[in-house]
Structure 1
């Protein structure tokens, strides 16, 4: 009978341990724990106690893990290793280091499993002092040749900004794996030494038998994210295509790299390719690609991603919800942005600021101001970034007094020191209100040196209100600050042309040619069936070019019947390579608008994004086309949104 009972207990223990190996949930884990206590041998079976400790740690029940540790009478190095790893995995780095020190005090010596975990704790807490002590101990105990110890030392020194030591450990390692290379790449990238990070990665690819993996992509991403070198981007893409496409991490990194390097079309195309490859996006993927959808006004794709988010139950998630608001706002869909905002369980300053910006960009300054006030009443404190969109909203809506009040509120009540962005908004606010002299005095009285955005806002106001004298002053500063930016030459040229000073217009043209200044080609993007189509002025490369130009001729004829006369001043002094040999009628915005008209059902809204400021002729044309085609046209340029409907624009013809 006794033997039979012992066998039953043994079977119970065996069954429980098998379940523990499968990482049970917390409720199941507690039931197993009770059964093992009833079995009566938990206090003496070290392998059972260790498995329970690991299981509780994975369930983030670190208090119970520590209780099991404390209650076991005969603890060896394995118990300390499990407890230290439990603390590290739960990001309790200081407790892990305290446990490490306590094992030394009772003369339990660390082994090659202990040291890597201790080094992780040093990395997580950036505790260089303990890291250095551990490195000395490693040499004394002969563990310096251990691969995992070496990798841990590289990571620790990298996190503590000791790159010479990290490189020395790497160079002296008798053997390296892909983690060793990734750790060194990450060490350089985390400390802003992007060139070195890329060079290490290139060396790994060309001179090592090891192949990059998702960890390499993640380690290298800060270097390429902050890089504007096309060679670096090409290298990253090749590495992704050839070595690292089997991991969701790699896809996420590559999408983020494209987004952060202002390549939204590439980011969206990669996301679509990811879907076609059967790789399921996660919340990181979605948060990365949504800004790209917004940049391209890819509303259909953005809505499709939103449906995926709801289907996968990724909400509530503050980061995702903020990204959705921003995407809808950039696509000009205020209704969708507001719906996401209203359904949020919690909101932060970013959520409120995004909504303020959304209304401000469309010219609804009064609603933007109301939302900003609602944010204040909600108990959140606006930060310096929050004041930029509300000041801009006041500017676009001509709310001079309210804009001045918000600037005073920011400086006097919230004690926020104005930044250049706030000053630029105030100059724009005064300039749009026709207070050119007041705007100029404001610039002269600034306590910091004005930048090109501030002088540019003043120059734009001078163009609208035909103030040549102050316009020349602003232009002179701009040509000194950013002599390569063609847009400011064009603005000054516009001022001269408006005043009939054609000789000065010619001088500006000549100056641009001598200095080699070229205006960035205008590109208009439009989405159709989840695909983004891009147009340049006079573009003949699109498969439907013949149909587009035929339809455009018909529409221009109808525009002329309504009194349309091309804005020839724009053609005369808007000096762009894209316009050479082309008529105003084939500017990129017009081509994009007609493309949507011939490919969609009547009354379907048209959404376009342009990388430059919309010209006066295209603005006039869009108003007329919205009336002729009975279409709402939502066009976002670098300044703001233009909602064209029934022959009118939301900007009031001032942008």
Structure 2
């Protein structure tokens, strides 16, 4: 190797883009060095592993390299295994076995088993296990550990345990792998047992337990394990914060973040995105603002994932203006997630036209849209009533970008037609789908029938759903609502009796509001405490004022027809979002925006009440329900009564 070659290869260490790598490659070709296997291997490794957008180029490099060695094969197998198309890694391994004189080594099997794990393909995993046996590599520590992980990802705890038991001297990595496999297979007791048997536990072992418990929703066990830990690192804290946030324990996630800071530890990318996720889900705007200030002061605003999480937080907390400001500030660092997050924010707030404009701007920036981008575009069109534009995007994704529609795209199209009241088109679209019709597709159509009172179609769709998911109480509620909208009260009562006989329970409605940086949850019919008593008292006062000054008459169309009118009014008057609004008016300062998050679709009566409150009390109310935002101001809603 000449003296200039190490200097040229050292440029790869600072190469961050595919353009730069192509320049280095061109220079090597000019010097006639591209056929040197050592140099070609280094170039391929950087291309396939280190750069995020150059795997296709790595495949071309490999194709034009004469007689690639086992290192180059392994490099490409690894890169493909870690990509979003791991099946290509399996094809490359097969090609290696057929066309190469090089025998696979321990690295070959470790990388290809990772591909089988990512594919969740037990069949491929078993075949590769047999290949490892043939080559005498099944007992290799590296290969054996990867086999354990593969079986764990495929849900076969027994196979993972068998491989582990056959290992001569398993190290800490193998022990951690078998504990992880137990949790993957939802064998929590088995995971704890293996953890207790560990001869030596390292910090990773404890973090594996935390991750297993939080992903299984066993938060008390996670907390106990967390307190037992002899030492904690940023992964431990991040796992707890993210785990509690994803399981809906937002206040606990905030508390853990505060505790992390009190311990003098610096929040990392994962803990910040985790606590921002909690803010987004809980609608905790004030806490999100505090985190924004912390991110700016700590010099962490350069992290793209943190900015994307911050953007998402502002969007889901109802402040799309601040989301847009964050988006504009990260002009150079924007990735596909940044663009889609901003589109999602606009879509949730009913700004369909702006979401479409942003999509065209993204195209001009040279960012290629993916399947998620088109889901959000179709969602935006659906919630803004842009039927024609939605149809255009649906056909454009395949014709222009070669993206095959998934079940989510088909569901969006059914929703697009259904919300617009074009139920016949929605029905015809369902039957023209080239993929199997799932319960989600039928349920989307049933929701549209419920809104527009199409009883005949609702009955037909409910029959299809009963074949796919017979015990879903939500389907019976939607059918009952369709009957109620059509005024068929005997049928409403019949559906409700059936639900009672089969012991089906409705999903309880809840609403949350942030007051003084504390999250308060309201649920109609729940046990009362001082907070709910205050909310009920204020709500009674509000309803009286709405009757006197606004002529409010409760919308009781969806309530039982055979109960007294007064009982009907009581039934709709104590919905959780009304209690949350009442509490907000009682506690928040004049001029404050009341922000509420609700787990179900807001009902017509609550929607009417919010409009009246915003007009009479001169207050802005932002409600995020199951599918979109409603911004009430001066007696109007941003959804224009289209939701």
TM-score, normalized by length of structure 1?
0.72
* Residues 200 and 467 (structure 1), Cα distance of their counterparts in 2 relative to 1, 3 Å cut: closer
8 Å CA contact retained: 2:560, 2:568: no
How far has the Cα of 1:428 moved from its partner?
1.6
* Residues 359 and 493 (structure 1), Cα distance of their counterparts in 2 relative to 1, 3 Å cut: same
How far has the Cα of 1:366 moved from its partner?
0.7
2:321 to 335, 342, 352: 335
2:418 to 431, 434, 437: 431
1:320 to 292, 306, 309: 306
Q: How does 1:413-562 map to 2 (within 5 A)?
A: 413-561=400-548, 562=550
Task: Supply the distance in 2 between the matched residues of 1:447 and 1:153 (Cα, whole angstroms).
Answer: 41
Task: Supply the distance in 2 between the matched residues of 1:608 and 1:158 (Cα, whole angstroms).
Answer: 46
Task: Supply the distance in 2 between the matched residues of 1:284 and 1:468 (Cα, whole angstroms).
Answer: 48
How far has the Cα of 1:169 moved from its partner?
7.8
Q: How does 1:97-246 map to 2 (within 5 A)?
A: 155-158=145-148, 167=161, 171=165, 181-186=175-180, 192-195=184-187, 198-204=188-194, 206=196, 214-220=203-209, 223-224=212-213, 226-227=215-216, 230=217, 232-243=218-229, 246=232
8 Å CA contact retained: 2:250, 2:279: yes
Query: Quick check: 1:297 aligned with 2:267?
Result: no
How far has the Cα of 1:394 moved from its partner?
0.9
Q: For 2:435, what is the secondary structure of its paired residue?
A: coil
Task: Supply the distance in 2 between the matched residues of 1:164 and 1:493 (Cα, whole angstroms).
Answer: 46
Task: Supply the distance in 1 between the matched residues of 2:415 and 2:167 (Cα, whole angstroms).
Answer: 59
* Residues 123 and 311 (structure 1), Cα distance of their counterparts in 2 relative to 1, 3 Å cut: farther
* Residues 537 and 272 (structure 1), Cα distance of their counterparts in 2 relative to 1, 3 Å cut: farther
How far has the Cα of 1:296 moved from its partner?
0.4
Task: Supply the distance in 1 between the matched residues of 2:562 and 2:406 (Cα, whole angstroms).
Answer: 32
How far has the Cα of 1:206 moved from its partner?
4.7
Q: For 1:517, what is the secondary structure of its paired residue?
A: coil
How far has the Cα of 1:252 moved from its partner?
1.0
1:596 to 576, 584, 587: 584
* Residues 178 and 536 (structure 1), Cα distance of their counterparts in 2 relative to 1, 3 Å cut: same
Task: Supply the distance in 2 between the matched residues of 1:235 and 1:483 (Cα, whole angstroms).
Answer: 34
Query: Which residue in 2 is equivalent to 1:618?
Result: 606
How far has the Cα of 1:393 moved from its partner?
0.8
How far has the Cα of 1:331 moved from its partner?
0.8
Greater displacement, 410-419 / 374-383: 410-419
Query: Which residue in 1 is equivalent to 2:620?
Result: 632
Q: How does 1:9-48 map to 2 (within 5 A)?
A: none
Query: Which residue in 1 is equivalent to 2:390?
Result: 403
Task: Supply the distance in 2 between the matched residues of 1:244 and 1:429 (Cα, whole angstroms).
Answer: 54
* Residues 244 and 267 (structure 1), Cα distance of their counterparts in 2 relative to 1, 3 Å cut: farther
* Residues 433 and 136 (structure 1), Cα distance of their counterparts in 2 relative to 1, 3 Å cut: closer
How far has the Cα of 1:637 moved from its partner?
0.9
**For each residue in 1:159-206, what CA deviation from the matched residue of structure 2 results, as whole angstroms up to 9, or x when unmatched?**
5659889756855789888666324324556xx4442xx445311455
8 Å CA contact retained: 1:394, 1:429: yes
Query: Which residue in 1 is equivalent to 2:554?
Result: 566
How far has the Cα of 1:598 moved from its partner?
1.7
Q: For 2:388, what is the secondary structure of its paired residue?
A: helix
1:256 to 238, 242, 264: 242
Could you say what the CA RMSD is over the residues aligned between the two structures, in angstroms? 4.0
Task: Supply the distance in 1 between the matched residues of 2:452 and 2:606 (Cα, whole angstroms).
Answer: 21
How far has the Cα of 1:631 moved from its partner?
1.4
Q: How does 1:642-653 map to 2 (within 5 A)?
A: 642-653=630-641
Query: Which residue in 1 is equivalent to 2:272?
Result: 286
8 Å CA contact retained: 1:294, 1:330: yes
Query: Which residue in 1 is equivalent to 2:352?
Result: 365
Greater displacement, 167-176 / 328-337: 167-176
8 Å CA contact retained: 2:251, 2:518: no
Q: For 1:275, what is the secondary structure of its paired residue?
A: helix
How far has the Cα of 1:362 moved from its partner?
0.8
8 Å CA contact retained: 2:484, 2:558: no
8 Å CA contact retained: 2:559, 2:568: no
Task: Supply the distance in 1 between the matched residues of 2:137 and 2:487 (Cα, whole angstroms).
Answer: 82
Query: Which residue in 2 is equivalent to 1:392?
Result: 379
* Residues 450 and 171 (structure 1), Cα distance of their counterparts in 2 relative to 1, 3 Å cut: closer
* Residues 61 and 628 (structure 1), Cα distance of their counterparts in 2 relative to 1, 3 Å cut: closer
Query: Which residue in 2 is equivalent to 1:609?
Result: 597
How far has the Cα of 1:599 moved from its partner?
1.6
TM-score, normalized by length of structure 2?
0.74
**For each residue in 1:124-157, what CA deviation from the matched residue of structure 2 results, as whole angstroms up to 9, or x when unmatched?**
786999x979x98999xxxxxxxxx96x676454
How far has the Cα of 1:597 moved from its partner?
1.6
Greater displacement, 265-274 / 533-542: 265-274
* Residues 456 and 125 (structure 1), Cα distance of their counterparts in 2 relative to 1, 3 Å cut: closer
**For each residue in 1:7-48, what CA deviation from the matched residue of structure 2 results, as whole angstroms up to 9, or x when unmatched?**
xxxxxxxxxxxxxxxxxxxxxxxxxxxxxxxxxxxxxxxxxx
8 Å CA contact retained: 1:119, 1:156: no
**For each residue in 1:221-257, what CA deviation from the matched residue of structure 2 results, as whole angstroms up to 9, or x when unmatched?**
6644653xx5x44433321222266322211112222
8 Å CA contact retained: 2:138, 2:144: no
Task: Supply the distance in 2 between the matched residues of 1:650 and 1:414 (Cα, whole angstroms).
Answer: 33
Greater displacement, 540-549 / 323-332: 540-549
8 Å CA contact retained: 1:570, 1:616: no
How far has the Cα of 1:431 moved from its partner?
1.9
* Residues 636 and 136 (structure 1), Cα distance of their counterparts in 2 relative to 1, 3 Å cut: same
Q: How does 1:342-381 map to 2 (within 5 A)?
A: 342-344=328-330, 345-381=332-368
